[in-house]
Structure 1
């Protein structure tokens, strides 16, 4: 990074200096051309108005090498040692300035017509100038000093930036090492939220927060599942030991123990099935091949019919718009309805249990509302009821469920990018609102 910073800064300075020299060079060339043309006009005027003028004095004063020749290409005057190779005898009446450039001096040449005593002749002017050379001699040491200064500053700046960058990277590395050794609760310290590197640290901390939450949730899930499995297994183990010691000879005890054991086996089976359903809902990917256009009213009628057969004390009413359809797996919609209706029945202490289902289209969203007249849910428990194994009624006064059903429902709704809202009042009932786009 130091090398890249150094090269970038030096390159910029070098490019700027080259550009500066190019601009000065263009200016000096133009200046030299304008200067020789101005001298040409002065010479033309002087030799045209004064026939006795001394060419040697005139051209020495102007510090010019000059050759004058007539239209017959005969040389009238020549202050140069030899005839120039670039002299254009064939085009004597066109002004032409030619610049020969180098870094020591400039050769400025002008070939143009001139009138002497009323007779048309031609003049070739050669001028050697060193304007650009003088500029280089005056500024070159300054440029070299500036380049060296820039090199030193760029090296120091690169080292500072690199050190600052490496220090921040080191903090991130140290935090990773601490997480590896001490656990996932450590986080990178944030100093400036606008700093780009700290933005990376913020993302890293956010990822670690999600990972820690997921880890804790998994840990809690294992603990809760172990607890739930332990209870029925303990009961079954106790009854089997009792039967093994003396209960198998007592018909009453034998029948009772077998019945209790079968009930606990059923609970274990239900728990395992619920865990499998939850795992499936959390990890299932919905592909186009699995989806279908489901007629909502037909599924609701099917679910209500099944519940009415085994729950004679439940009164179902519903209000469903015709031809409402959802694009999803039919079994998922059916499972959602079963979970919420089953909870509504379990958590109701009324002699007449009432469940009203209304399904309608609202602002291009299909809303499914399931309202009951059950015991209700305390306001502080509503945000938690979709957590795995969470039960409002720990005493299981109303049911022997494991608190997994609503977690499954929440995962299915999330799978289809829907929303779940639960409104409830104690002793008045609960209204579950599901919305799908």
Structure 2
């Protein structure tokens, strides 16, 4: 059966996954299913134990009966083969005397009957005469069974009687014309009754054990499923405005791994939501001003009566504001992409070629005295395009704060931080510098540096830009697990830089070489940083 969309009924397709509707599957709670399977498995095992024990005990009863019968028959045959009357020390003169002497010397065991027969007639019944008058008299009183034993073609057998089984054996003996026989029989009813009692006891113990297993299984299943219930409760508690709830993680088992994975998913969702919300807020905040400016100029412009100069000036202002809006949107999109894991694509890059390329592109930004002070010679595992974007942003910032002909210096060097090699790329200008309080703040979104004494370029807000350039640099440095920094003395220019580790989280390394001309933009102790 399919739906109108051509998909099988009862499923929804999400990406490449086919998700069943909630109505499919068992409605029995997982705790009950786990307990049911535990009890079923345990019950089957206990039944197998009881049945096996009963069978083994019954086999033991039969083996003991056979062993007793065999022993008695062997002893009688040995006694008959000797043929000497122990009371007279002379040979027996009759079968009757032999049986009488032998039976008077025997003691029967539990359920055992020994009968002497001469010429088909009962002569002695040791059970009735001496040891066990309480046993059933089936062997001697049941004429049919007695005749079957005497006339049986084999010397042993088993008969079913009211009290259970009778296992028997017969030893024939002759002396002249006398013919007799010794019959040994064992009634197993009493032993079988004891086996039944034992099996019943084992069964009761098994039932008690099954009940104890049910209690323990219920508690253990609840303990195992508790983190899953917490996942469900946390998922139910999460709302559109609150993604801060997390599942407590206890232990290091599979359930703890599930909780950690779920929390990681929530972290990604929260980060994505925060990024989206920040993007919307930033776009709404920054785009409101140019939209208002455009609307105001269009409303003031009387298309029917305005002269060409007024119309051209209005159109120019509108185009400038539209261009500024486009730049803001582009920068915001870059910052939004910075939260994605594929924002940077690290590959081995020749630092010398990278710096020459950056210096050539920077010269197109303004008529300044561009100077490439030093070049780190070697390979680095970085995203060349993103690093170029960051350095050119620094260069654009330097152009904004300098005049034609002013000196702007660039350079790169390999340094070491905490035992890890980094590539440091820096841009130094001769502008008014950065106020100490602004050193870290200017790397935040929509934050511009305040005007410092001696700044001939006017207030920062009048120089254009939305305050997103340095935030993009910081995002690029963070994506490389590095840092963006600035050091400055007011009135003496500023040096902006980024430090990028040569080893990425996956373990790929870049190979460092030598450094060109000496020089450094500063030391780690004196610079103010905006780290990740």
Question: 2:285 pairs with 208, 227, 234, which one?
Answer: 227
Structure 1 unmatched ranges of 5 or more: 69-77, 89-97, 117-121
Q: 1:267, CA displacement in angstroms?
A: 1.7
Question: 1:318 pairs with 360, 374, 398, which one?
Answer: 374
Are 2:274 and 1:216 equivalent residues in the alignment?
yes
Question: 1:339 pairs with 383, 386, 390, which one?
Answer: 390
Give the whole-Å Cα distance in 2 for the aligned partners of 1:429 and 1:10.
Answer: 79
Q: 1:221, CA displacement in angstroms?
A: 1.1
Q: 1:168 to 1:432 in 2, by over 3 A?
A: closer
Give the whole-Å Cα distance in 2 for the aligned partners of 1:315 and 1:171.
Answer: 61
Bigger helix fraction: 1
Q: 1:382, CA displacement in angstroms?
A: 5.7
Q: 1:218, CA displacement in angstroms?
A: 1.1
Are 2:339 and 1:308 equivalent residues in the alignment?
no
- Rg (Cα) greater in structure: 2
Q: 1:61 to 1:304 in 2, by over 3 A?
A: same
Equivalent runs, 1:45-64 vs 2, <5 Å = 46-49=79-82, 51-52=84-85, 53-54=98-99, 57=103, 61-62=107-108, 63=112
Report the TM-score when normalising by structure 1.
0.64
Q: Out of 342-351 and 229-238, give the one that drifted further.
A: 342-351
CA RMSD of aligned residues (A): 5.5
Kept in 1, the 8 Å contact 2:474–2:483? The answer is no
Are 2:398 and 1:352 equivalent residues in the alignment?
no
Deviations 1:168-206 (A, max 9, x none): 8777656545445x843574775x834987875665455
Q: 1:170 to 1:433 in 2, by over 3 A?
A: closer
Q: 1:130, CA displacement in angstroms?
A: 5.0
Q: 1:432 to 1:8 in 2, by over 3 A?
A: same
Q: How many residues align?
A: 393
Deviations 1:356-379 (A, max 9, x none): 1236999xx995321234657979
Give the whole-Å Cα distance in 2 for the aligned partners of 1:21 and 1:380.
Answer: 90
Q: 1:183 to 1:31 in 2, by over 3 A?
A: farther
Give the whole-Å Cα distance in 2 for the aligned partners of 1:171 and 1:411.
Answer: 37
2:517: which partner in 1?
none
Q: 1:220, CA displacement in angstroms?
A: 1.5
Structure 2 unmatched ranges of 5 or more: 1-31, 86-97, 118-145, 176-180, 451-458, 509-532
- 1:271 counterpart SS class: helix
Kept in 2, the 8 Å contact 1:106–1:128? The answer is yes
Q: 1:333, CA displacement in angstroms?
A: 1.5
Q: 1:45, CA displacement in angstroms?
A: 5.2
Q: 1:305, CA displacement in angstroms?
A: 1.0
Equivalent runs, 1:1-400 vs 2, <5 Å = 1=32, 2-21=35-54, 24-25=57-58, 28=61, 31-32=64-65, 35-36=68-69, 38-39=71-72, 42-43=75-76, 46-49=79-82, 51-52=84-85, 53-54=98-99, 57=103, 61-62=107-108, 63=112, 81-82=149-150, 84=152, 127-130=186-189, 132-150=191-209, 153=212, 176-179=235-238, 183-185=241-243, 187=245, 190=248, 193-194=250-251, 204=262, 207-244=265-302, 260-277=317-334, 295-311=350-366, 312-321=368-377, 324=379, 333-343=384-394, 346=397, 352-358=407-413, 367-373=422-428, 375=433, 385=443, 389=445, 391=447, 393=449, 396=460, 400=465
